[in-house]
Every structure is written in C-alpha cells, then in structure tokens.
Amino acid sequence: MAEAPLIRVEPPGPVARSIIDRDSKALVQSYVRWVPLVVKEAHGAVVEDVDGNKYIDLNAGIAVMNVGHSHPKVVEAIKRQAERLQHYSLTDFYYEEAVTAAEKLREISPVNDGKVFFTNSGTESIEGSLKFARYFFGGSRQYFIAFLGAFHGRTFGSLSLTASKAHYRKGFSPLLPGVIHVPYPYPYRCPFKTDDPLECGQAVLDYIEEWIFHKLVDPSEVAAFVVEPIQGEGGYVVPPDNFLPGLRKLADKYGILLIDDEVQSGMGRTGKWFAIEHWGVKPDIMALAKAIGGGLPLGAVVIRGDIASTLVRGSHANTFGGNPIAVAAMSAVIDLIKEEKLLDRATRLGEYTLKYFNDLKEELEIIGDVRGKGLMIGVELVKNRKTKEPATEELAHVIEKSFKRGVVVIGAGMSTIRIAPPLVIDDELLQKALDILSDVIREENRQLRP
Ligand SMILES: Cc1ncc(COP(=O)(O)O)c(C=O)c1O
C-alpha cells in the first residue's frame, strides 16, 4: 500500500458520503462513530477509505488488529481453513482446530491450569465469566463487585457491570441485580482526593473492605470482583501498582474470585500477553475477545482448572463459539506475536510514545496526564491544569483534525486521546502519526490560550 498519510479528497469524499447516507437508512444509528471514515481496505497499520485516502491507524479497529491488518499469515490461515471446514458446532461435536487454539492459549495465559471456553465477543466472554463464577459457588454467592469507569460490554449482564458513561445504561434498567460499583483508583482523578497514586490504590481497597464489606454486603456473599487491569473505554486508566496485588489479596482473604477483563488490554497490547501480568497477579477467570481472532469475531474465557471442573455437561454452551475459521486465525495470531516478537515491539514503541507525549506535556498546558503500558496509551486533555476540567470539545477537534490530516484516532473517558495502533506499526509511520497529533494538539492548546 502506498505511503500514508495521503489525503486525496477532503473526507468524507463523495463515495464515503453516499455510503454514509445509505448506512443512515439501512442500519440502526445507535453506534458511536467518531469520524466519517468509510473503510475500503487496510494493510499493516494503514487504512484506505473508499475515496482513495490513506490514513495511519492509531486504533487497530479498536484494539483488535494487533498483528496488523490483512497479515498474510492470518489471511492464509483463514483461507486454508475456509476451504476445509467452516462450521460444525463445538457444542455438540469436536474438531482439532479448537483444541490446538485452546492449547496455545493455555500456554500463554496466567490462569492456573486454565481451561478455555470459546465465545463470539467480549460481552459474551463477560456473560460466561459471571455464570462460571456464580456456578462455582452453587449460587450461594450472588454479588459481583465492579468498578466505576469500567466498560465490560453492552448485553444485560455485562451492561450491569459497565459504568464508564451513564448514557450507556440509560433507558435499559432494570439491569442485573447484585452488582455493586466501587471507585477505580484513577491516579490523575482519585475519587478519594489524593494525588499520591499508592494512597489512592490503598484507599479503594480500604473502602471495599471497611465500608462495602461492613455496611453493605457480607463478603461471603460476593462471588467475584470484575476488573479491567487497565481501564479501556473509561479513559485508558492505569491503576497504581498496589491496586491489583491488593485486590488479589482481598479476594483470597474472603474466598472471592478475581475476574480479569482483558478484552481490550490482552494479546500483547501492553507489551505482555495480558496486562495483569505487569503486576504479577494471577486471575481466576480471564475474559478475552477483540485481538484474539485477528479480526474475526472470537472471544474466550480462560477458567482456573478447579473452577472449570465444576461445570457439568450442558451447563454452558453456544453455537458459534470457537468457529473453525476464527480459531485458525487465533492460532496464527498467537504464533505471529511470538515470531515477530511483538511483545518487545509494543514495549519499545510504547516507551517511545509515552516519552514523546510526556515531553509535549512539559510544553502544552492542555495535556493533563499521559499514561499507559505498551501500545495502550492515553493522553488526557484538560482545559485547565489546576481545575482539571476535561477538554471534551478540544478532544473532538483533535480527533476530527487528525482525521483530516490522515491519522485515525479516537477518544476514551471524557477527554483522553486513545492510542492503540497495530503492534506491527513501523517506527516511521508511528512517528508521522505522533507528529500530526502533536501539531493538532498544539493548535488546540493555542485556541484555549490565545
Ligand atoms: C474491556 C472490555 N470488555 C468488554 C468489551 C466488550 O466487547 P465486545 O464489544 O466484543 O462485546 C469491551 C469492548 O470494547 C472492552 O473494551
């Protein structure tokens, strides 16, 4: 694919406009849609639209295309499998492709003696995780503890945990009973009003133990904590270092399970296979989707062996989970992350990007916080460093202006630029994208303080 960025016609061009018009008539309009990008094809870290514009991809199709778009080895695995067997439900029969993919996943997963259940999406992986946790306790523990700012999906169970934006839940109540939300330790905006990250992490743990467990629900009735090791949709928020190890301890103290939602942060995105490994914590159940299918709809739950062994025949199943083509792509993705050393690449490029934005923060008041691990990086914009008022409109401008200059990027939380390119992005392309982004941020900074 020719060099990006390359803007031939100001987007949306004529072809894009006509497709968007048809979309508005044929599809429900409940989607979010940040920019009018109508994709025709994508390769590596470059996306081409229907009018021939080429963009540098800082989204990876929302943390999905970690090994890059149309990687020849993934394409080959899909083609080979499509020619042999497309579907034969794993619920009722067996096929080797699913076993091979599950073996590969077990090998890289931090879950003890993990057993795999395949799903079709992130939300379905969360639904399965909730069911497995309740089932393990024979229904005697009904409660789940989730975190404010979390995003776990949009079906009823997962939406009951999701608390990143109130309008995601608005109009859909009543949701699942038995979900208790507690603050997430967001170091830049600690709900407990401290600027010390470790104090913030400890305050959250103390709040759960001293307040929730004493005043609201006995811990013996809690089945699981459901947590994103790095909050995604909620703002690319990295918790302080004491939080996840402390949560693990709290879980162990009260016999509560730890469900780790790695749907967005998993599969090498943060420079480790799974983000929770940055803190040396082992979850009991891990929910996956997005990047594991290399672009095909696939999710998985990895369940601690002794928890999985409680599941009797017929207790949970689905028709499409572990579809042969999707798991063939997944095996190729795992092999590729190893072969191309993408964990190291994500770490190196991530460190570079963090430094780049931290340097820019020295210069530009509009940048309030820069955080992340590997290539999961958030740059939070504020109108004012002292009040930390979120620069929401400015974020929208940054996204729109970057798009017009050939960089596709979206936001997270209230005013955070979400940087999550394919891990294969080459150094030069990343540099170009960062330079365009910084130009655009600089412009917004000037507008804020003329
Ligand atoms: C952390 C996390 N969990 C769950 C989900 C839901 O995944 P899906 O959109 O595949 O249902 C998402 C989606 O963005 C996510 O980021």
Per-domain residue ranges of the chain: 14-57+341-448, 72-339
Determine if ligand 1 sits within 6 Å of the CB of residue 153.
yes
pLDDT at 1 over 80: no
Determine if ligand 1 sits within 6 Å of the CB of residue 59.
no
pLDDT at 139 over 90: no
pLDDT at 400 over 90: yes
| pLDDT, tens digit, 9 for 90 and up, residues 229-284 | 999 999 999 999 999 999 999 999 999 999 999 999 999 999 999 999 999 999 99
| pLDDT, tens digit, 9 for 90 and up, residues 99-137 | 999 999 999 999 999 999 999 999 999 999 999 999 999
What band does 336 get if pLDDT is binned at 50, 70 and 90? very high
Average pLDDT over residues 186-202: 97
Residue 245 DSSP symbol: H
> By C-alpha distance, which of 256, 287, 313, 262 is closest to 63?
262
State which CATH number among 3.40.50.300, 2.30.110.10, 3.30.420.40, 3.40.640.10 fits the domain covering 72-339.
3.40.640.10
72-339: same fold as 14-57+341-448?
Answer: no
Q: Which among 65, 124, 151 is the best mutation to test ligand 1's pocket, defined by most ligand atoms within 8 Å of the CB?
A: 151
- Say if residues 343 and 272 touch (Cβ distance below 8 Å): yes
C-alpha 258 chain-centroid distance: 18
- Say if residues 133 and 150 touch (Cβ distance below 8 Å): no
Determine if ligand 1 sits within 6 Å of the CB of residue 128.
no
Give the CA-trace dihedral at 309, 312, 318, 319, to 10 degrees: 110
Determine if ligand 1 sits within 6 Å of the CB of residue 231.
no
Give start and end residues of each alpha helix (H) in 88-143. Answer: 96-108, 122-136
| pLDDT, tens digit, 9 for 90 and up, residues 97-108 | 999 999 999 999
| pLDDT, tens digit, 9 for 90 and up, residues 208-222 | 999 999 999 999 999
> Distance (Å, rounded) from C-alpha 382 to C-alpha 167?
22
Enter the pTM of the model: 0.98
**What is the SS3 assignment for 370?**
strand
Determine if ligand 1 sits within 6 Å of the CB of residue 164.
no
Q: Which among 34, 62, 152, 296 is the best mutation to test ligand 1's pocket, defined by most ligand atoms within 8 Å of the CB?
A: 152
> Distance (Å, rounded) from C-alpha 36 to C-alpha 21?
11
Q: Which residues contact 409 (CB under 8 A, 6 or more apart)?
A: 58, 59, 398, 399, 402, 403, 417, 418, 419, 433, 437
> By C-alpha distance, which of 437, 368, 361, 356 is closest to 402?
437
- Which CATH fold would you assign to the domain 14-57+341-448? Aspartate Aminotransferase, domain 1 (3.90.1150)
What band does 223 get if pLDDT is binned at 50, 70 and 90? very high
